[in-house]
Chain A
Amino acid sequence: MLVDILPQGLKDFLGQDLVFWLGYISNGKHLNWYASVQYTLAAMVLGAAIALVVGLVAAAARSNGPLPLRWFAAAYINIVRGVPDVLFFLFFPLAFEQAVEWVYSFQVCTPETLALNAGRWPPCDAANISFSSFGYLILASVSLGLVYGAFVASVIAGALRAVPAGQLEAARAYGMTRMQVLRRVHIRQMWVYALPGIANVWMSIVKATSLLSLLQILDFVAWAQRLGAANFSRAAGLVHDDWRWRYYFVLLVFYILVTFVSEKIFGAIGRRLRRGMPLAEQNAT
């Protein structure tokens, strides 16, 4: 155990009880718990990155794209925003897995094996695909990205409209093409207006990562549940009562810390983006 490396003098100073509890919260299962933060953090970052890209593309497509693409983007934004994230989280990975299996079955199934599995899923045993926890983590991040991408899209669409029309007209007057105006002037200036909304969506993504355990990913939340569960078996280690609220409390503190730090970071980014933009600075104050 990790406490064994503490010098004896320090152990005497701390006292037996404290050393025991230090040892307990640094034993193997607690280390697993701390390590599982990586899944939560990975889902946050990956989910947010996908949401940003999806949102940007959808917003640009809705305001500037050709007609069918505009319809598609509008439909995506309106439909996905109305779906609870928990449902999409359950629906998307499963639907994706079965869709892959369905496509795969055309290559690997023979009529005999298809008949053997008739009425059951997968279509034949050879077409079965099982994702690892890592695969589910990616799928979970994509789900987050797709759900919150719709929110990012509407934030960005609003921000695109907030850019003063004079800026765009001036760019057109310089002879820039539609795409050049969009890339060089419109999107560049849009960020200032979009940032507060994007910060809000980020907070929602952070909180939604607590759903990872629904996909059987042993994340921060799932481990807390396990460690807090009452243990009455000596073979399994320290016998204790239901300690779940203590572990859930640590989760609360963790999420508050993450959102607190994010707020600071978004504040700093906002101040930096507004530099040299007199209009936006006026709006912000």
Chain B
Amino acid sequence: MNRLILAAAALAALTLGAQAQSYKIATEGSYPPYNFTDDSGKLGGYDVDVGTEMCKRAGVECSFIVNDWDSIIPNLLAGNYDAIMDDMSITDERKKTIAFTDPYFPPDPSTFLTLADKKVDYANIKGMKLGAQKATIQANYLESNLKDGNTILTYDTQDQEMADLNAGNLDIIFLDGSVVGEAVSASGGKLKADGPEILIGDGVGVGMRQTDTELTKKFNTALQSMKDDGTLDGLITKYFPDKKGGPFYKK
């Protein structure tokens, strides 16, 4: 009997220990409105709010850390942190190296951003300077579809390509449709969203190591409950007021 109590106590201690385990989630901190460093110096944005709530519901402690986009997958594999939440689209190519949770943002058509007075024939783009952020689905798309006759430039961060577009060093940027809205309205009429919307990727998921199946399951359950009770939809309308087609997840 004593032994049984001892075993139960040990088990309880073990599960308590597991619950108190703390995970690190990496984000870029410079991809608004998904993630950014706000004026008070704290990380904020859609990724951060979703991640915080997801961890709370999964019963794990999480903290966000900043990591550059182009090294974000290698550093996950190296074990410097346990998850990626950085508007990372779920693609077959990425699935070869990392795992994803269920999506927490619906598939988002990519679109073109250009100067307001610029006329572009999108069916036949030739002789243009095209920009995208390094190692993104958009950069991949440009490489495989629009490489002939155009110059493709890739950037470490999104604000750098915006700066180059504003300065006239680029003709067109190709980027996530959900990011374009605010960029256009903040430009005061200088920029416009333009051309066709192109759907690439299967929505945005939390990037995980393929070996961490338990944690992935926990996060999936937490995300599902956030989808069911409308929390996720609330966060989407909060950060992406322009996004059409809701409700996205609530039943």
The chain A residues found within 8 Å of chain B, CB to CB, are: 24, 27-32, 120-122, 125, 128, 130, 216, 218, 226, 229-239, 241-242, 244
Contacts and interface: CB of A to CB of B under 8 A. Distances in A.
Contact of B211 (A31, A125, A232, A235): A125
Nearest to B158: A229
Given A236-B45, A239-B186, A29 B38 contact: yes
B44 interface: yes
Contacts of A120: 77
Contact of A230 (B33, B159, B185): B159
B186 A242 contact: no
Residue of A120, A234, A236 with most chain B CB atoms under a 10 A cut-off: A236
Contacts of A231: 32, 36, 159
Given A28-B42, A29-B38, A216-B68, A230 B163 contact: yes
Most chain B CB atoms below 10 A, which of A125, A232, A238: A232
Given A125-B211, A232-B185, A233-B186, 18 more contacts: A27-B40, A121-B78, A125-B79, A218-B66, A226-B29, A226-B30, A226-B37, A229-B157, A229-B163, A231-B159, A232-B32, A235-B32, A236-B33, A236-B37, A237-B40, A238-B39, A241-B166, A242-B166
B162 interface: yes
Interface in B70-97: 71, 77-80
B19 interface: no
A29 B32 contact: no
Nearest to A24: B39
B79 A128 contact: yes
Interface of B: 29-30, 32-33, 36-42, 44-45, 66-68, 71, 77-80, 157, 159-160, 162-163, 166, 182-183, 185-187, 211, 239
B66 A236 contact: no
Given A233-B186, A234-B182, A235-B32, A130 B41 contact: no
- Which 5 pairs of residues, A with B, have the shortest CB-CB distance? A28-B41, A237-B39, A233-B32, A232-B186, A28-B40
Contacts of B77: 120
Contact of A130 (B42, B68, B71, B80): B80
Contacts of B78: 121-122, 128, 130
A259 to B, nearest CB: 29
- Interface residues of A, dominant DSSP: loop
Contact of A235 (B30, B45, B67, B160): B45
Nearest to A127: B79
A121 B80 CA distance: 13
Contact of B183 (A122, A232, A238): A232
B162 A230 contact: yes
A90 to B, nearest CB: 12
Given A216-B68, A234-B182, A29 B30 contact: no
B41 A236 contact: no
B48 to A, nearest CB: 11
Nearest to A116: B211
28 contacts: A24-B39, A27-B39, A28-B42, A29-B41, A30-B41, A32-B41, A122-B79, A125-B211, A128-B79, A216-B67, A216-B71, A229-B157, A229-B160, A229-B163, A230-B162, A231-B32, A231-B36, A231-B159, A232-B185, A232-B186, A232-B187, A233-B32, A235-B44, A236-B32, A237-B40, A242-B159, A242-B162, A244-B163
A229 B37 CA distance: 11
A29 B66 CA distance: 14
A242 B163 contact: yes
Contacts of B32: 231-233, 235-236
A237 B183 contact: no
A216 B45 CA distance: 21
Contacts of B66: 218
A31 B33 CA distance: 23
A236 B40 CA distance: 9
A233 B79 contact: no
B76 to A, nearest CB: 11
A65 B41 CA distance: 53
